[in-house]
């Protein structure tokens, strides 16, 4: 059941779907329905991925875009650039490798995302790396 917690215009924007005819013949059509918000994030994720020559984990891009930057692609690009610089400073990546099992025990299995969460915990200090990682499970 969908609850109207805001006005009708906002509701329609948040729950809109895109329809694309994938294939058709004389008698049938195959239509792909995707949520507008999903399409937006996929397009932004692919755009950022292309800027990094597809060398960066799409899950990491999504977490930066959705979780840290609230969908702002420019902020996500800056954040990912800062993260890439941070990774190689002060042996941060090697330090994470020593803590990796702590994340795995908490079912946080994407090492790129986990390392990004360590970066966020140092950047914002209001939540531990595990706190950031658990939100993204």
Is the pLDDT at 1 greater than 50, yes or no?
no
Q: Which CB contacts under 8 angstroms, 24+ apart, belong to 55-62?
A: 56/80, 56/112, 57/110, 57/112, 57/113, 59/110, 59/112, 59/113, 60/110, 60/112, 60/113, 60/116
Q: For the full predicted model, state whether its pTM sits above 0.85.
A: no
pLDDT (mean) for 68-91: 92
Percent of the chain with pLDDT over 90: 39
């Amino acid at each position: 059941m969908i609850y109207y917690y805001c006005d009708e215009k906002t509701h329609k924007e948040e729950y809109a779907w895109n329809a694309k005819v994938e294939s058709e013949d004389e008698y049938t059509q195959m239509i792909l329905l995707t949520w507008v918000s999903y399409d937006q994030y996929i397009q932004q994720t692919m755009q950022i991925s292309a800027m990094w020559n597809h060398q960066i984990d799409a899950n990491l891009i999504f977490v930066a875009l959705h979780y840290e930057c609230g969908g702002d692609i420019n902020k996500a690009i800056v954040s990912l650039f800062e993260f890439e610089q941070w990774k190689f400073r002060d042996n941060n990546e090697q330090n994470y490798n020593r803590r990796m099992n702590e994340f795995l025990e908490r079912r946080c299995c994407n090492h790129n995302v986990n390392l990004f969460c360590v970066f966020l915990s140092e950047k914002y200090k209001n939540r531990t790396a595990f706190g950031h990682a658990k939100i993204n499970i």
